Amino acid sequence: MEILDRSVARAPQAPLDPVKLPFGRTFSPNMFMAEWDEERGWRDARIVPYGPLQLAPSAMVLHYGQEIFEGLKAFRQPGGGVKLFRPDRNAARLNASARRISMPEIPVELQLEAMKRLVAVDRAWVPPAPGSLYLRPAMIATEEGLGVHSSRRFLYFIITGPTGSYFANGTGTVRIMVARDWVRAAPGGTGAAKTGGNYAASLLAGAVAKQKGCDQVLWLDAVERRHVEEVGAMNLVFVLDGVVTTPPTSGTILAGITRESIGVLCHEIGLPFVERAIHIEEVFQGLASGDCSEIFGCGTAAVVSPVGELVDGDTVYKVGNAAEGPVAKRLREALTALQFGTAPDTHGWMVEV
């Protein structure tokens, strides 16, 4: 499909400083858009200036939440070039979300070409390390009308923005509250899809966590309320008896691409890595005994983010010495070196723009 280029050329007014680029607050001057309908399929692919979307008040996304999105990054390379990290995996995951939310899939080739073309147009907005350009592809239902059924029209768009660290404290630790009164996703639900409704349902618990001085919420399973699932913005990883351990993606947990990459890196550098069910009491007991030596989150925005404390009601559990542990540090450095081009990409994960 031909992509029309109606972009505007506008460079940042000042050099991009990753330290002064909070996540999700600054946006590049252009975006990608394409429409779908039952008669014509995907059409009108174009790059246009960033700006408001025109939606009718009766657009079905506003009433029934038919919406999905993705998140990935582009990185400045030592020679000045720009590369995307594993965009094919994000494209595949977007289509998996589309199937679950009853939306049309988007050809992977179109997704990849759209991402590369858009980043190429706004390559001046890719900051130097340790910053990156965040990409947010999304699809929304645009059919006008009320009545619960799958929309017959959709809009796919991509916006981008330069960013530094997801958390204000950079590579410092985060404090996480264990959610006892709410659940994020149930078996058979939409937990494995990257859809806005999952995040909307998490906001109340997130607000309570903020009141307790916490950065994020740790979700437990919806059935027994005992097994660790994930954190709102990240998958969770535990170092238990020296083994890098993470809960399995069993339909209620988002299959994180950073999580998947960390598993590969663990095997590559000789760290034992397993996916298995993790009981929250096992974590607490391990923290008390020292058998649980590290906890860290991983995700596109956060990359690798060490956990310093777990808060369960009025009880606060300190993780290790409340600093980044050696395993998290080693994996973060290995992953970011690959992304920023200071280590060889032996996996073919980096895609040239």
Segment 65-80, tens digit of pLDDT:
999 999 999 999 999 9
pLDDT of residue 167: 58
* 2-36 residues labelled b (16+ CB within 10 A) or e (exposed): ebeeebeeeeeeeebebeebebeebbbbbbbbbbb
Segment 313-325, tens digit of pLDDT:
999 999 999 999 9
Q: Which of 117, 121, 110, 112 is nearest to 29 (CA)?
A: 121
What Cα–Cα distance (Å) separates residue 275 from each residue in 86, 235, 246, 304? 21, 12, 5, 17
Segment 273-314, tens digit of pLDDT:
999 999 999 999 999 999 999 999 999 988 999 999 999 999
**174-339 matches 4-164 in CATH topology:** no
Segment 127-163, tens digit of pLDDT:
999 999 999 999 999 999 999 999 999 999 999 999 9
Cα 312 to chain center, whole Å?
A: 25
Q: Is 215 helix (H, G, I), strand (E, B) or coil?
A: coil
Structure tokens at 287: 């923290």
pLDDT of residue 233: 81
Reported as a pLDDT band with limits 50, 70 and 90, residue 170 is very low
- Cα angle for residues 15, 21, 23 (degrees, 5° grid): 145
Burial zone of 182 (CB within 10 Å; 0-12 exposed, 13-18 middle, 19+ buried) = middle
Question: What is the rounded average pLDDT for all residues in the chain?
Answer: 96
Span 4-164: which CATH code?
3.30.470.10
The domain spans of the chain are 4-164, 174-339
Range 174-339 has CATH code 3.20.10.10: yes
Beta strands in the chain (DSSP E): 4-5, 30-37, 41-49, 67-69, 72-76, 82-85, 132-141, 153-163, 174-178, 216-220, 228-231, 234-240, 243-246, 273-275, 292-299, 303-312, 315-318, 350-352
pTM to 2 decimal places = 0.96
Q: Are 175 and 311 in contact (CB under 8 A)?
A: yes
pLDDT of residue 169: 46
The CB density around residue 103, as the number of other CB atoms within 10 Å, is 24
Burial zone of 46 (CB within 10 Å; 0-12 exposed, 13-18 middle, 19+ buried) = middle
- Which of the residue ranges 72-86, 170-184, 192-206, 291-305 would you say has the lowest mean pLDDT? 170-184
Structure tokens at 182: 């709410």
DSSP letters for 130-184: T-EEEEEEEEEE--B--SSS--SEEEEEEEEEEE--SSTTTTS-EEEEEPSS--S
